[in-house]
Chains A and B, each alone.
Chain A
Amino acid sequence: DVKVTQSSRYLVKRTGEKVFLECVQDMDHENMFWYRQDPGLGLRLIYFSYDVKMKEKGDIPEGYSVSREKKERFSLILESASTNQTSMYLCASSRTGQNQPQHFGDGTRLSIL
């Protein structure tokens, strides 16, 4: 079974802090994704990566950056956290291929005070 592990289930940070969310997958997947999930809005894509050191912006990249130094690890960075970034963050990975599904981690509930 694919395992996608997010480093924290719950995280509380203060406005202005630099925040790192880590995600690791164990299935050698090429693609990794970061979403935020908010009630009534579903999942919105922040960034994704299709290879080491490669990244592409999703629908809502403002205020975020990402890092993929190794194939199995994909980090989401909030450069200067703001209260409107309080949300559930989901990481996913997938193999490249026509009907390959994405596999998700458990999510990180991030609160910015």
Chain B
Amino acid sequence: AQTVTQSQPEMSVQEAETVTLSCTYDTSESDYYLFWYKQPPSRQMILVIRQEAYKQQNATENRFSVNFQKAAKSFSLKISDSQLGDAAMYFCAYRAGSARQLTFGSGTQLTVLP
């Protein structure tokens, strides 16, 4: 079974600084997809960024980028120029290529300090 591990239950970052959230996963699949979701205090989960395992290039969405290390099974999220609105719970998720369902990590609570 696939597992997703987020080893940092809580992180904090100063406004305008950069922070990296860690995620590792365990799989024997070669075809899979990885996602970062954000859950602000209002609770609705929204997609931040996604990565296809077959792509070597790291995905980037504005201030959000990933460091995808396939051999190490690592998928970290970097947030640049952190803003107060980035404060949220962040979840890493994995989906096997043939599957419909996601496997989530336990989440990292990010606090942004003014």
A residues with CB within 8 A of B? 31, 33, 35, 40-45, 48, 50, 58, 88, 90, 92, 94, 96, 98-99, 101-107
Contacts and interface: CB of A to CB of B under 8 A. Distances in A.
A42 B4 CA distance: 10
Interface of B: 4, 6, 9, 33, 35, 37, 42-47, 50, 52, 91, 97, 100-107
Given A99-B52, A101-B47, A106-B44, A40 B102 contact: no
B33 to A, nearest CB: 5
Nearest to A92: B45
A105 B91 contact: no
Contacts of B42: 106
Contacts of A106: 42-44
A104 B105 contact: no
Given A106-B44, A107-B44, A98 B33 contact: yes
Nearest to B35: A101
Given A42-B91, A42-B107, A99-B52, A94 B47 contact: no
Contact of B97 (A40, A44, A48, A98): A98
A31 B105 CA distance: 21
B43 A45 contact: no
A35 B33 CA distance: 19
